[in-house]
Amino acid sequence: MGLVGLNAKGRLVVWVRCGLVMLISFVAVVAMHAQQPGGPPVGSVTGHVIAQDTQKPVRFAQVTLQSVAAAAGGDEPRGGGGGGVASTRTDEEGNFTAANVAPGDYYVTAMAAGYISERALLQAGVAAGTSAAALVAQIPVVRVTADSASPVIVTVVRGAAVGGLVQWEDGSPAGGLTVRAVAAGASTNGNGAVAQTPLPAGLQGFVGGSVNVATTDDRGAFRIVGLTAGDYVVQVTIPPAQQLGGGAGNVPRFSSPIVVYSPGVFRKSEAKAVTVNGGEERNDVRMVVDLRSLRRVSGQVVSSDPSLKVASGMVRLVDTNREVQRMTSLGQDGGFDLRYVPPGSYTLTVSGASTQSSGRRGRDSEGAGVSFQVASQAVTVPDTDVTDVAVTATPVQGSQ
């Protein structure tokens, strides 16, 4: 049996033999009866979040309740909160209360800096071949009933960390850049977007995500935390340079982000992976971003009909393995300029081309312009700039 008493703050204290302390606030007792007269029946959830590595309470952790039905893609409970999801935070003693919760079964998860999100644990389990039943069994579940407080204890697991420095080729720090830890076996596209590991049936609507992201500081330093054990590639994203605004008639020229992988290559297949074990700290990643090694691809899109002039459209350059992508908009003269292109073999595609300039589209109904068919051709980028690419676009029949 446990011992029951009041602490100095007036909270009910329940001491259990396993050494965990459950503190249930008197506010929770009031909250579970706080439903409006004639409203739907509601209950509450009270609990405690504990760190697995220290067995200490986790202060101000984010706690999420998601209905089991909603996580499986079914109908969520109706009533307090709605949507099948509720969120709250722990206090300075690791306790939390979620009031006005509709009756039903809920998954209860917690997130805190340095600890692994439940979704990341699930995805790691999927990758390791763990059965769906075993994955579901690892998530704490609480049953909420009307006019009662349902207790639960949530344990969070300390994750591994990967850190290091990112520098430009001249030795200066590359600050303010987004850094991600991408699983070495994950698929990415030319813009660095990562394909998410699908969860098994019964959990496909499970909320929450993996936060394997950091930003380099003024020294170029970064530290990514909360990682499951495994092999990772460090990915740095340099945002595209494009102007928005700046005077009447100004039209932005779109471009793509530059994606770099450790130790400083531009294709994930060429990257060097970092291996971390459970809870391990790795602070030895060094990346040098050499933009001077990249090339420029520029040229002109012209119409097969000499009486027409291509004045707008998008140009996309994608390499053979779809690991690198560069994109920009056409100028009013049909010219394009793609920067920061690694040497290699590419397909250049022109789409959405028109005789109407981007600045005029949608402004009036007159002179809608002539559209052009999608045009593609192969482009090889050696270790020098390619400045004479010529693309011929054919007008769409009936658009004139």
Q: What DSSP line would sit under 160-229, residue for residue?
A: EEEEEEEEETTS-B--S-EEEEEETT--B-TT-PBPPPPPPTT-TT-------EEE--TTSEEEEEEEPS
Residue 55: other Cβ atoms inside 10 A: 11
Q: Across residues 87-112, what is the average pLDDT?
A: 96
pLDDT-wise least confident of 127-131, 230-234, 315-319: 127-131
pLDDT, averaged across the chain: 85
Dihedral angle, C-alpha 273, 277, 280, 282, nearest 10 °: -10
Token pair of 81, please? 């909160």
> What pLDDT score does 24 carry?
35
Q: Across residues 227-248, what is the average pLDDT?
A: 81
Whether omega for the bond prior to residue 306 falls within 30 degrees of 0, making it cis, is no
Which pairing describes strands 281-289 and 160-168: parallel, antiparallel, or unpaired? parallel
Structural domain boundaries of the chain? 3-156, 160-202+211-287, 294-393
Model confidence at 153: pLDDT above 90: yes
Rounded-to-integer distance, Cα 196 and Cα 202, Å: 17
Backbone angles phi, psi at 152, to 5 degrees: -155, 150
More confident residue, 64 or 364: 64
> What pLDDT score does 37 carry?
54
Which pairing describes strands 258-261 and 230-238: parallel, antiparallel, or unpaired? antiparallel
> What pLDDT score does 12 carry?
37
The answer to whether the beta carbons of residues 197 and 185 sit under 8 Å apart is no
Q: Which fold has domain 294-393?
A: Immunoglobulin-like (2.60.40)
Domain 3-156 identical in fold to domain 294-393: yes
Model confidence at 14: pLDDT above 70: no
Domain boundaries 160-202+211-287, corresponding CATH code: 2.60.40.1120
Model confidence at 28: pLDDT above 50: no
List, for residues 197-226, the tens digit of each pLDDT value.
788 888 888 887 667 899 999 999 999 999
| pLDDT above 90: percentage of residues in the chain | 67
Q: Which fold has domain 3-156?
A: Immunoglobulin-like (2.60.40)
